[in-house]
Structure 1
Amino acid sequence: MPPIAFQDQIPDNNCFGCGPGNREGLRIKSYWEGEEAVCTYRAEHHHSAGPPQFLNGGIIATLIDCHSVCTAIANAYRLENRPIGSAPHIWCVTAKLNVTYLHPTPLDGPVLLRARITAAGPKKTLLLCSLFSKSDEECARGEVVAVKVPSTWRY
């Protein structure tokens, strides 16, 4: 049986970047690969920057943000030895996002995101996330702080 994406296990998520139910969104899919979380995403032409052959910086930031926050949520469930999405629900939000753009990101193929947790406590998770082009060039790097919010935050 293939693994189920973190996002497909998080109930009622309508986020533009990671909500599976948001028809207008990016609908990313993240999975564990050892101690890292990975996501492969194929952007559309309308996600371009000024030059049409490159990915827009805001989309890059959204990919890094959403992949990292969903990784923090998945890790919080893992630390509690519970399946992702089980009640009581765990929600995290972005407290800090710092993206460094290293190279223009070509739109000629999928991008790969790799996030790793650098510190995790009961309320806060720190992550580093890199975005790679199809030629394995690191194009952007993000530092993310995700914080837990009460499960009532969602409703």
Structure 2
Amino acid sequence: MQEPRCLQETYAPHNACFGCGPSNEKGLRIRSFVQGDKVVADWTPEPHHEAFPGVLNGGIIGSLLDCHCNWTAAWHLMDSQGLERPPCTVTMEYTIKLRRPTPTDGPLHLEAWVVESDGKVVTVEGQLFAGDKLCDHCVGKFVAVEPGHPAYHRW
């Protein structure tokens, strides 16, 4: 049985983004899947992602949540506007709250959902869990870019 394709592999297989690009062999390669009203992902850290033994680096946490929430915004715009492909979206702003040390001894689970949208700018909340413990929380705004922006049609 073939593994299901995530949003990134389906819509941006050649994207080289450090956080979510399927074609970046040294990147995090987040794989985001639509699940009802949320977009979810599971990701397993490796020792080189640590800040110190057993604890995930804060910058990696930011990248995970930033990219996962960005894909949630892109999916929302595609779905709500009946588009064939998600528009290219970029991060306008995001805030990460590191609630507790994020362990690196097993898989992590990300969830994100849209809290507001005006059709171009989408506000998304995201969470990162280790087992049943909420470790990190994100709120971000993501915007669909227009022709002339360096990210336009980057996928």
The answer, yes or no, to whether TM exceeds 0.5 is yes
C-alpha distance 151-23 of structure 1, shift in aligned 2 (>3 A)? farther
Equivalent residues of 1:6, 1:84 under 8 A apart: no
The answer on 1:41 being equivalent to 2:43 is yes
RMSD (Å) for aligned C-alpha atoms: 1.6
Equivalent residues of 2:77, 2:120 under 8 A apart: no
Question: Shift in Å at residue 4 of structure 1?
Answer: 2.2
Q: Deviations over 1:44-94 (max 9, x none)?
A: 110001x21000000000000000001111111111223435xxxx10000
Question: Shift in Å at residue 121 of structure 1?
Answer: 1.8
- 1:1-80 aligned at under 5 Å gives the runs 3-11=4-12, 12-49=14-51, 51-80=52-81
What is the CA–CA distance in structure 1 between the aligned matches of 2:16 and 2:79, rounded to whole Å?
Answer: 23
What is the CA–CA distance in structure 1 between the aligned matches of 2:4 and 2:78, rounded to whole Å?
Answer: 16
What is the CA–CA distance in structure 1 between the aligned matches of 2:147 and 2:72, rounded to whole Å?
Answer: 17
Secondary structure of 1:119's match? strand
Percent pairwise identity: 34
Secondary structure of 1:115's match? strand
Secondary structure of 1:27's match? coil
Q: How many residues align?
A: 149
Q: Structure 2 unaligned runs (5+)? A: none
Q: Structure 1 unaligned runs (5+)? A: none
What is the CA–CA distance in structure 2 between the aligned matches of 1:4 and 1:66, rounded to whole Å?
Answer: 17
Q: Deviations over 1:95-151 (max 9, x none)?
A: 0110000000110001100001001122100000000012x1000000010011025
| Matched AA of 1:36 | K
| Matched AA of 1:5 | C
Greater Cα offset, 58-67 or 118-127: 118-127
What is the CA–CA distance in structure 2 between the aligned matches of 1:35 and 1:48, rounded to whole Å?
Answer: 31
TM-score normalised over the length of structure 1: 0.90
| Matched AA of 1:143 | V
| Matched AA of 2:139 | E
